[in-house]
Amino acid sequence: MRACTRRQFLGRGTGAVLAGGMAETLTGCPAVPLPPVAPVDRPARVAAVRGRDLREMTREALDRFGGAGAIVQPGETVFIKPNFGAVGMVKYDAVAAGDCAKPEIVATVAEECLKAGAAEVIIGDAGQAKTYSWKKIITLDGAANMADEAERLRSAYPNQRVTLACLNADSPEWDPIPSPYTKLGKLYISSLVHRADRIISIPVIKSHRWTQVTASLKNFVGVTSTDRYGLGIQWRFLLHDAGIEQSFIDIAKAVRPDFTIVDCSICCEGNGPHVLPGWWGSTVDMRERLGDWLLLASTDLAAADATAARVISHDVSRVRHLMMAYNQGLGQIWEDRIQLDGARLDDLRVPWKPAEHTEGFGEVLLPGLMLLMG
């Protein structure tokens, strides 16, 4: 009998929870239960890496935690989830504008996982487009793109697989996971992430029109299908209606990400997650405010996101999904329980224009989409 992988075990374990939630629905009880309050007590560690060379900084971020070999075992499948959400939707260079994680970081993490013996590295995101060209995801120096990087890695590691997946089009299946604290009851996520052995989140830090900040936890919205949740438009209306914060927290609970590197290089302030001054957000080059680019790495995604929020001068206690993650046992968020290696937090804080929080999702979405796409 084939051994059950850790991901399969976790998936089967959550099945009982899902069954219980569905039973409640079948009995006719319409109320969505509140999640139990189980605050995190364990401490967390976040590594801060400053510099100007993103590839070198990425290797250092991994090395602070023992290298990729401390995360990935030989023969495992690794799913890397970058935030490439704007690619294929906006008309501008989403990487250079600060909408997206930098391909230099993503490719370096992929290569380090291959060096550690991963059988396959999958780089995947659904984003807001049905499909997109990986050649459009260009490094900051313009010397390469994600398609080039994937081919380079395939040539260098011919006995291992490197897969690029536009999840809306390329996901083989959509697996159900429990979401008992939203009115959907369950969510469907790509089988490529759900069945992977190891999962690494690579977001870019941005202030966000609906969730105040977006980083490694909210990044997992991009493993769901816009066809299923978009009402005919490449946007996830139904997840927002069900409760966007609880939705991505439920995804993180189900897949248990192993590691994150938060990209604080070219970012977005104001009404992110997209860049369009006067309506959406504005580009920020962290070198102009901090003097360097910055990466934040951790095995605790909530701790990394809380630290990133503090770097961009946000009050963590007022960021609802971070409080939810803490209270639901997902990760640590309090400054005195997070060990920050490599820098003092006070030396990293920069001024940042916050989002103008908008409660009505539909009020700004369609006009904003017209501006972005037009």
The average confidence (pLDDT) of the chain is 89
Tell me: pLDDT of 151 over 90. Answer: yes
Overall domain count for the chain: 1
pLDDT at 17: 34
Taking the mean position of all CA atoms in its chain, how far away is CA 338? Answer: 20
Return the H-helix or E-strand segment holding 46.
Answer: strand 44-51
CA distance 290 to 153: 33
**Residue 33 DSSP symbol:** P
CA distance 261 to 122: 16
Sign of the torsion angle spanned by Cα atoms 23, 25, 30, 31: positive
**Residue 236 DSSP symbol:** -
Q: List the one residue out of 42, 80, 71, 69 whose CA is nearest residue 219.
A: 80
Residue 2 resides in a domain: no
Tell me: pLDDT of 260 over 60. Answer: yes
SS3 297: strand
Residue 21 resides in a domain: no
CA distance 83 to 102: 9
Residue 46 contacts residue 296 (beta carbons within 8 Å): yes
* Most confidently predicted of 230-239, 260-269, 276-285: 260-269
pLDDT at 360: 54
Q: List the one residue out of 174, 178, 173, 236 whose CA is nearest residue 25.
A: 178
pLDDT at 356: 87
Residue 149 resides in a domain: yes
pLDDT at 341: 98
Residue 12 resides in a domain: no
Token readout for 34 is 């509140």
Q: List the one residue out of 252, 279, 256 whose CA is nearest residue 268.
A: 279
Q: How many CB atoms lie within 10 A of CB 360?
A: 8
CA distance 154 to 162: 6
CA distance 143 to 139: 6
SS3 349: coil
SS3 102: coil
pLDDT at 66: 98
CA distance 155 to 185: 44
Residue 27 resides in a domain: no
Backbone angles phi, psi at 364, to 5 degrees: -115, -10
Q: Which domain holds residue 344?
A: 42-373
Residue 3 resides in a domain: no
- 213-243, pLDDT tens digit by residue? 999 999 999 999 999 998 877 789 899 999 9
Q: Facing residues of 190 across strands?
A: 174
SS3 96: helix
Token readout for 244 is 């966007």
CA distance 202 to 235: 21
Question: With 0-12 CB in 10 A as exposed, 13-18 as middle and 19+ as buried, what is 219?
Answer: buried
CA distance 93 to 156: 28
Residue 33 resides in a domain: no
SS3 60: helix
Q: List the one residue out of 56, 49, 46, 96 whose CA is nearest residue 259.
A: 46
- 108-130, pLDDT tens digit by residue? 999 999 999 999 999 999 988 99
The amino acid at 178: P
Residue 218 contacts residue 321 (beta carbons within 8 Å): yes
pLDDT at 276: 78
Residue 29 resides in a domain: no
Token readout for 237 is 């209306």
